[in-house]
Structure 1
Amino acid sequence: MVYDRRFLSESTMKLLITGLFALSLLLPATAAELKIDLGHGPTTWQSEALLKRGDVRTISVPEDVAFGRPMRYRALPLNDLLQGLDAGDHLQFVASDGFAAEVPAALLLNGKGSTAWLAIEDPAQPWPRLPRGKGSAGPFYVVWTRPQAAHVGPEQWPYQLAAIRKLAGVAARFPALQPDPSLPPDSQVRQGFVVFQRTCLACHTLNGQGDAKLGPDLNLPHNPTEYLRADLLRAFIRDPQSLRRWPQAKMPGFDRSAVSDADLDAVLAYLRHMASRKSTP
């Protein structure tokens, strides 16, 4: 039925609007979906079904990476959803905002006491908004208990999670990211490539390769080591707002607990090395 506002009194309009609003409150909230593909075809889980599982429990996260404060979640052990993983497997966690975290299965299967959990947002009881205008962390968020035990970095806490998939490793999928094969295995550049995969590739591409869609390419048309002094680049990675301050900035800072001085030296060595290995995608 179509109502012509010209023929309705103000009181009738108010009653109609109030009734429609009340009806919307009675409608069930839309369940979110998480897609998981471990190489045997994708499986889709709805938040409602996940919240009903017997392995779901309430957990406390004392130092939540996304919120920057203690949080409590309804969550299940992530490995319960990823049965059959081997330590040599590689996973990609894709968020709805273009973040794509590359996580080796060995980190999830670590025996050091760090446990990955899939936190599930209840549509009827949504989580608070993220700080700095980043929106919601839901509907799914990978959180960790005792992350320090296995040296879990902040990029291994993907929120707004939409899909998990098993893929070949980064070097196999993106050959243009690889350093010169003649470098010795223990070279600083090769160590920097490892750090780059863990901390940078979730947001950036390099030589046009990578699946992330958040940040700019780090080699094309110019590598940051080509236009920033080393001290300024270090300061930018530690605290992006120390170099350029703007409200919409999305890049987080990496303090020494997330990226050690040695790891920072290594990733800068890798970037300098790749500046001479530009490759058109």
Structure 2
Amino acid sequence: MSTPNTGQDPFAAVAALPGVPEAVESARKAVDGLLGHRTMRRRSPEISAESALRGARASAALEGADWSLEEVRRRTDYSRTDDPEAGIVGGALRLSAEIGDLTDVWRRSPIQVLARLHMVAAADVVGSEALGRPRLAGEEPAVRPDPGLLPSADEVTARLDGLARLLLVPGDAPALVVAAIVHGEILALQPFVWGNGLVARAAQRLVLITRGLDPKSAVVPEVGHMDLGAGVYEKALRGYVSGTPDGVAGWILHCAEAVTLGARESVAVCEAVMRGM
């Protein structure tokens, strides 16, 4: 993991970095406000479904397929091989539909779930031999942010295994911190030949669900990342990859702000539902 070498539980060490506790608490309050909204209490499946759709749309936009929400609702031709953007949007939508079925498996085997997420996301884009497995020596991801040198295939395997082991160890680190680290590690490692951003953001949701911050998957952190801007997202990621305390803290603060904005997005959806959207 690209976290400060303090000798502590890496999740707990990151959670204690300057500014992180305050950012985590602010995001938690925003999420609690959403979960306490009377529309959430009465119509949570509807809000969660809308969160999934909006999250898929925003995740695809961050990956380079910036379709309007209306277009995502309308179109069905996501498996067209002559339209790379359709493949991205289709992968994001499939992931949003799959997450709810993977929460129990995530608690037991994060590596198995990451493989499944990639298989779902990339089903219409890459060959079957590359689905669900980390890239091999000599393979490079088709598209990636620019956080620095691309980790080797051996480093990818070792760090994913290490991350999975840490996720299975009981700890008290806030869900948001763990989600941000999982998200950042996948983006930094670029473990697959395609769709790493989609997988990273889906994994982020899984952590927020399984660690209790957002059990109904109502928050839309992907919209928060999109609203903050792709350039800001990539700059924060470069800070995480640096492994410095300031860089890692900056990434966590960025993710906390995205969760806060994502909670506000769903509060707005709740209000619209109340008005008869």
Bigger strand share:
1
Q: Between the two structures, name the one with larger relative contact order (CA 8 Å, sep ≥ 6).
A: 2
TM-score bucket (shorter structure)? under 0.3
Normalising by structure 2, we get a TM-score of 0.27
